[in-house]
Structure 1
Amino acid sequence: MSQEIAVRWKLAEKIAEEAGALALDYYNKRDSLVIETKRDPQDVVSIADRNVEKLIREHVTKHFPEDGFLGEEFGLNEGSSGFTWVVDPIDGTSPFVNGMPNWCVSIAVLQDNDPVIGVIRAPCFDETYSSAKGYGASLNGKALMLDTTRTVQNGVTGIGSNNYVPPQSVARTIENLLELGGNFIRNGSGALMLAYVAAGRLVGYYEPYMHAWDCMAGFNLVREAGGYVHPFPVEGELLKKGNKVFAAAPGAVADLKKVAQLD
């Protein structure tokens, strides 16, 4: 591992721990939060999201001022180092504000458009998922490696949805999955469900439209645990746009591509 990646990986883990603690403090006081809507009543944000992102940005700027930074709440600051941090301060804001534990802090680092670091902190479960390109993935320090015998038929698939895509499309995906003998869950956090794929809890995850801050950390985790990740373009302005997200354990890739109607 290059020293450049190693020091950023260590920092990402440290920041995720601190950001997770701040987010958890807000979560425990959520009755006093002012909740705002963005695109629609299901797309919500609070001061917790903004302040957690500010904390992460401040740490990155302090240690690596030449790195780029893309966060869900405050957008993209381009850098000059070839490294870009891609962050969702609280993925799963809807579960967060409604008192459900299915939310997380998601931190990825891209090097020349390739995710080389992925750290996801789930404070309510005291779980830290961490990975770096070529050095594997872990959950609370325990190495993760996917079981090749897990399939659509003997596992559970995560399915995501939002109003960027028509309801009929999501319904068709679920119908395809059920017809193949599979089953599904949706817990409200795409980043956390990608982490669950890396941990072997889910055999795959599909969402027709997500942004880079939702999935880059999870992509690195799944890849380093031995899973498959469908290409997600992030070059230039594409980094700020959404795309299909698909990740799966080895034994579920072929069936789930049929489910998601991917080539």
Structure 2
Amino acid sequence: MSSATLTELDARYHFACDVAKTAASRALAWYQQRHQLVVEHKKDLQDVVSEADRNVEQLVKHLIYERFPDDAVLGEESGGDTGNARFIWVIDPIDGTSSFLNGLHNWCVSLAIVCENEPVIGVVSDPNHHETFHACRGKGAWVNDKRIQAHSAQRLDQGLLGLSSANSQPAEPLLHFISGLLAQGGMFIRNGSGALMSAWAAAGRLIGYYEAHMNPWDGLPGIVLMREAGGITNDYLSQDGLKKGNPVLLANAVIYPQLKTLLPALPTL
């Protein structure tokens, strides 16, 4: 467990919530003029980035470095050198860029803080629905000022599962997982933003969330949120997850092993 003091965590927790809301407001302004954005493709046609992503990330980095100059920042669009910093901010300025560019409300600002290889703070801000999901180690999980907790489902047919997959991942394991889920009466949704769906799972709107590979700026907020909401997750930061990413599986203590049995034997699950 990290040795971060309550004072260190509190200062960053409150600031992280403020930064995420500020970034979400800026992103919403871009969203309202999205037809004018310059859009580029990264690895494939589904992997896109716009000037809005870069602008919002620059804003977030500026705010963090101004307040906590010794902290490191790792961003989806501009990367970053974590060096020997105790606190590492991991940010995705707009998770769900495809939804964002196509006028769908399923996108968010995603932010997490890691201290000594432990995720300690997670924030997901959704400006379209005026919701900010936030959690800090030992302080519970919240949406705005309301406490949230993981779904109470005991079986896979008692709610919706959040599910996603990147084009870089093979389809066959996911199809096997979906087949097993449906065979048990389960249902799933995929909305274009893994960070937002994992926040919904922490809030008990979904029975859990699974993705075969998530980058840290999308996966870590949900990890913190679900743990503080009373659920369990895989060990995301094992095997250099901060650099390489890892699978994400999160649910309550009863549903988690049921989902795990449908998955291939992955070291981090």
* TM-score between both structures, scaled by the size of structure 1: 0.96
Deviations 1:123-156 (A, max 9, x none): 1111000100000000111011224345311111
Pick one of 14, 39, 59 that aligns with 1:35.
39
Pick one of 247, 250, 254 that aligns with 2:253.
250
Number of positions where the alignment pairs a residue of Structure 1 with one of Structure 2 = 262
Q: State the distance in 1 between where 2:176 and 2:106 align.
A: 25
Unaligned runs of 5+ in 1: none
Q: State the distance in 1 between where 2:97 and 2:37 align.
A: 12
Does the 8 Å contact 2:151/2:201 carry over to 1? no
Paired residue for 1:108?
Answer: 112
1:187 corresponds to 2:191: yes
Is the deviation greater in 18-27 or in 138-147? 138-147
Does the 8 Å contact 2:249/2:256 carry over to 1? no
Deviations 1:48-103 (A, max 9, x none): 10011111100110011111111100112225441100111100001000110000
Q: State the distance in 2 between where 1:186 and 1:44 align.
A: 18
Paired residue for 1:155?
Answer: 159
Unaligned runs of 5+ in 2: none
Residues 65-144 of structure 1: pairs in structure 2 closer than 5 A: 65-144=69-148
Residues 42-57 of structure 1: pairs in structure 2 closer than 5 A: 42-57=46-61
1:5 corresponds to 2:12: no
Pick one of 233, 241, 244 that aligns with 2:244.
241
Q: State the distance in 1 between where 2:153 and 2:184 align.
A: 16
- Deviation for aligned residue 1:256: 0.8
Q: State the distance in 2 between where 1:16 and 1:251 align.
A: 32
Q: Give the match's secondary structure for 1:120.
A: strand
- Structure 1's 82 and 209: CA in aligned 2 closer, same or farther, altered over 3 A? same
Paired residue for 1:260?
Answer: 263
CA-based RMSD: 1.4
- Deviation for aligned residue 1:249: 2.1
Paired residue for 1:60?
Answer: 64
Is the deviation greater in 140-149 or in 23-32? 140-149
